[in-house]
Chain A
């Protein structure tokens, strides 16, 4: 029953709306709808009409292509600017950690220690012998390890013992030739080969290893030259501050020399045979100690002046030249390219998608808020 009534009501509503449309178009309607038609006409008669001056003014603007007007109503233009500024600030806030951190964790450098070690898969050897090892750290981008046992002394008079190791990949066929070049290079940098082992074999079974000693001031040049022999697989640089050890040895030597001088004086003044023999024995002991200390001092100075370099030549097969293109190779390369492209897309997407989602949410929120404000303005009018 109620459904039928509802349907009848809907039909009435539709019919009356049609009557209104016909009345507005000036079409005839039934006499039973006369009051509605009369009301429609009366409402229509209340319609405001624009003045002729306004019509002419607007027509002229149409001819000119509706050029933008004076900034009296341009205040709305600020909102897109504010939104754009917010987006830029947001993007900067999101991108800043990536920019500063580079997306990679680098362990913080500890204070300059007496001993330190740097390793890298491929790194230019940039620092000279006179530099302290930690100063070379920024030039080595690869994995960084560092240890320290005692704080560095202030000033530049520290005596640092250095050592380096280098693993260079060369083609198996050129092991012997490269080994010969190592000898030549060591000589050209005023160093020498302390020990060497060269083994030959099929494929990657051969190899060579060298213990080089080179003046510390020539170390960087030698490392660069050795790195040019092939592909640097790894590189390690170790430093050890032996300033205290050197100073201690020097002081002990000075004391021993003073003791010997004193014993000599006493020996000259000795009148008793026994006393003279005792002094002579002490003098021999002092001289032996002086010799030992001098040897130690020379050895320590040598450790500072010369640097040990452990070089390994590892046989390494070269990659096939890209010029040889086969269907299988092309498929492999296409797969690699697609994989790389996909990885780039994932990286870009991971950065862009959250920002885009946030921007879309902000834009939707702003649009919703603006619409609500407009509707409220209409209700309040």
Chain B
């Protein structure tokens, strides 16, 4: 009798948890879709591949959504970690060199800006191209993925202070590169 009650309770709990998992995943998807794509597009330098890897990352995250452990970081960090692994596997497979993505689209958009803004943007883009891949990834996680420093640390597997130091060093390097080109 007790076991039947316990089994029924567990079944009911599992049934209640599934919509909760689903809702949380949908919220994660809505809040992270564009950020994740932006990060992957910057990392991979290919919009088409970025779309594929974004979809693959969400697919994997959906399959593993019950395995997510909140004590090990935020859901966004967990999702970006999955996406990063998929993207690096893709880089391993294709051996392709990433470059800043959407360059043509940005150049076209620059036409609407002032000449000064266009020059500034081109300068920043050129400065970013001088960064090492790891530094570009940091920029992508922070400025395009919109992750906090805690989340970046979690994705890269480093400490929070180390993530902040790396980020500041990269920004300083980028500023110096911009100053040289200005």
Contact B29 A47 (CB under 8 A): no
Contact B58 A42 (CB under 8 A): no
In the complex, the chain A residue whose C-beta lies closest to that of B56 is A73
Contact A13 B168 (CB under 8 A): yes
Which B residues lie within 8 Å of A49 (CB)?
34, 37-38, 102
In the complex, the chain B residue whose C-beta lies closest to that of A38 is B120
A3 adjacent to chain B (CB < 8 Å): no
Contact B143 A381 (CB under 8 A): no
B56–chain A nearest beta-carbon distance, Å: 6
> What bracket does the count of chain A residues touching chain B fall in?
35 or more
A193, B164: Cα distance in complex, Å: 100
- Interface-facing stretch out of A109-117, A214-222, A369-377: A369-377
B106 adjacent to chain A (CB < 8 Å): yes
The interface bits of chain B over 142-167 (1 if a CB of A lies within 8 angstroms of the residue's CB, else 0) are: 11101011000000000000001101
Contact A43 B59 (CB under 8 A): no
Contact A378 B143 (CB under 8 A): no
Contact A374 B88 (CB under 8 A): yes
A288 adjacent to chain B (CB < 8 Å): no
A66, B34: Cα distance in complex, Å: 17
Given contacts A24-B146, A62-B26, A68-B59, contact A35 B175 (CB under 8 A): yes
A379 adjacent to chain B (CB < 8 Å): yes
Given contacts A46-B106, A50-B33, A62-B58, contact A374 B149 (CB under 8 A): no
Which B residues lie within 8 Å of A377 (CB)?
88-89, 91-92, 95
Given contacts A17-B168, A35-B175, A381-B98, contact A66 B121 (CB under 8 A): no
A50, B34: Cα distance in complex, Å: 6
Contact B171 A39 (CB under 8 A): yes
Contact B168 A16 (CB under 8 A): yes
Q: Which of B85, B101, B124, B146 has the most CB of A within 10 A?
A: B124
User: Which label, helix, strand, loop or mixed, suits the secondary structure of the A interface?
Assistant: helix
- Interface-facing stretch out of B8-16, B47-55, B66-74: B47-55
In the complex, the chain A residue whose C-beta lies closest to that of B33 is A58
Which B residues lie within 8 Å of A13 (CB)?
164-165, 168
Given contacts A46-B128, A50-B54, A58-B58, contact A66 B175 (CB under 8 A): no
Q: How many residues of B contact A (CB 8 A)?
A: 56
A273 adjacent to chain B (CB < 8 Å): no
In the complex, the chain A residue whose C-beta lies closest to that of B148 is A21
In the complex, which of the residues A36, A44, A66 contacts B59, with contact meaning CB atoms closer than 8 Å?
A: A66
The interface bits of chain B over 116-144 (1 if a CB of A lies within 8 angstroms of the residue's CB, else 0) are: 00001100110010001110010100111
The interface bits of chain A over 55-66 (1 if a CB of B lies within 8 angstroms of the residue's CB, else 0) are: 101100110011
A313–chain B nearest beta-carbon distance, Å: 53
A14 adjacent to chain B (CB < 8 Å): yes
Total CB contacts across the A-B interface at under 8 A:
126
Which B residues lie within 8 Å of A58 (CB)?
33, 54-55, 58
A183, B112: Cα distance in complex, Å: 121
Which A residues lie within 8 Å of B100 (CB)?
46
Contact B171 A20 (CB under 8 A): yes
Which B residues lie within 8 Å of A177 (CB)?
none
Contact A48 B120 (CB under 8 A): no
Given contacts A50-B33, A50-B34, A50-B37, contact A39 B178 (CB under 8 A): yes
Contact A42 B54 (CB under 8 A): no
Contact B142 A20 (CB under 8 A): yes
In the complex, the chain A residue whose C-beta lies closest to that of B63 is A66
Which B residues lie within 8 Å of A35 (CB)?
175
B174 adjacent to chain A (CB < 8 Å): yes
Which A residues lie within 8 Å of B149 (CB)?
17
A301–chain B nearest beta-carbon distance, Å: 74
B8–chain A nearest beta-carbon distance, Å: 26
Which B residues lie within 8 Å of A42 (CB)?
120-121, 124
A13, B174: Cα distance in complex, Å: 15
Give the contacts of A53-106 with B (CB-CB under 8 A). Answer: 54-55, 57-58, 61-62, 65-66, 68-69, 73, 76
Contact A374 B89 (CB under 8 A): yes
A54, B53: Cα distance in complex, Å: 12
Q: Which of A17, A46, A69, A377 has the most CB of B within 10 A?
A: A46
In the complex, the chain B residue whose C-beta lies closest to that of A48 is B41
The interface bits of chain A over 13-42 (1 if a CB of B lies within 8 angstroms of the residue's CB, else 0) are: 110110011001000000000011011101
16 inter-chain pairs at a CB distance below 8 angstroms, sorted by A residue, are A24-B142, A39-B175, A39-B178, A45-B121, A46-B143, A47-B42, A48-B47, A48-B101, A58-B33, A62-B58, A65-B62, A68-B59, A69-B56, A375-B88, A380-B91, A380-B95
Which 3 A-B residue pairs are closest in the complex by CB-CB distance? Answer: A374-B88, A48-B41, A66-B62
